[in-house]
């Protein structure tokens, strides 16, 4: 009888794990409440098998890093599959640069001469403005890592273009050409496309 009850208990634990995995996949927005309820279930059931399954579920739900592609073109060819990354060059510019018109090339053609180097995105909030190749559509959100003047990655949005900005070369907006905050042109910058266009 004890063996039968133990077998049913293990079967029930397995079913609960599968059920919780389905819920986590279908409603990622409720991950925190599910994890909390999973912890309570773990405490109440108290079986080592369930605890091991719970730890495995946690591993499955961790966010995987974006794949890094060898070229800008290859990254763009996979962008519909999800987040992708590429390595490129980052330069800096101000709205007063030679040939600059003072407004962003992308609608709503934001005035860049007023010192505002941010765009207020409805999803990501205030993000830095970038100029990029036309193959990266307006509104694309890019996570930029390894910039020499910032200790943390920054989020930026493609809102501008530039004649010399091609392929994996992106250009970060600063308030003026006279104040680039100590930035210097950098290679081997990590660009991750979080959103492809608006």
Whose structure tokens read 């996979």?
Answer: 78
**Residue in 178, 98, 195 with CA at minimum distance from that of residue 137:** 195
Cα(149)–Cα(151) distance, integer angstroms: 7
The model's confidence at residue 70, banded by pLDDT at 50, 70 and 90, is confident
- What is the fold of 68-195? Barwin-like endoglucanases (2.40.40)
Q: Is-above-0.75 flag for pTM?
A: no
Note the pLDDT of residue 42.
38
> Are the C-beta atoms of residues 106 and 142 closer than 8 Å to each other?
no
DSSP SS3 for 42:
helix
> Are the C-beta atoms of residues 102 and 96 closer than 8 Å to each other?
yes
The model's confidence at residue 7, banded by pLDDT at 50, 70 and 90, is low
> Are the C-beta atoms of residues 58 and 21 closer than 8 Å to each other?
no
The residues spanned by each domain of the chain are 2-61, 68-195
* Average pLDDT rounded to a whole number, residues 8-35: 50
């Amino acid at each position: 009888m004890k063996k039968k009850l133990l077998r049913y208990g293990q079967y029930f634990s397995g079913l609960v794990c599968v059920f919780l995995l389905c819920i986590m996949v279908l409603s990622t927005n409720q991950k925190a409440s599910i994890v909390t309820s999973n912890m309570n279930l773990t405490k109440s059931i108290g079986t080592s098998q369930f605890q091991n399954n719970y730890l495995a579920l946690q591993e499955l739900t961790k966010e995987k890093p974006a794949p890094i592609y060898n070229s800008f073109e290859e990254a763009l060819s996979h962008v519909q599959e999800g987040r992708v990354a590429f390595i490129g060059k980052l330069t800096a510019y101000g709205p007063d640069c030679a040939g600059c018109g003072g407004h962003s090339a992308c609608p709503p053609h934001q005035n860049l001469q007023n010192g505002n180097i941010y765009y207020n995105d409805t999803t990501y909030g205030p993000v830095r403005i970038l100029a990029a190749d036309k193959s990266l559509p307006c509104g694309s959100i890019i996570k930029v890592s390894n910039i020499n003047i910032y200790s943390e990655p920054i989020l930026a949005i493609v809102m501008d273009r530039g004649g010399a900005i091609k392929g994996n070369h992106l250009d970060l907006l600063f308030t003026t050409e006279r104040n680039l905050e100590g930035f210097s042109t950098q290679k081997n910058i990590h660009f991750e496309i979080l959103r492809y266009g608006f």
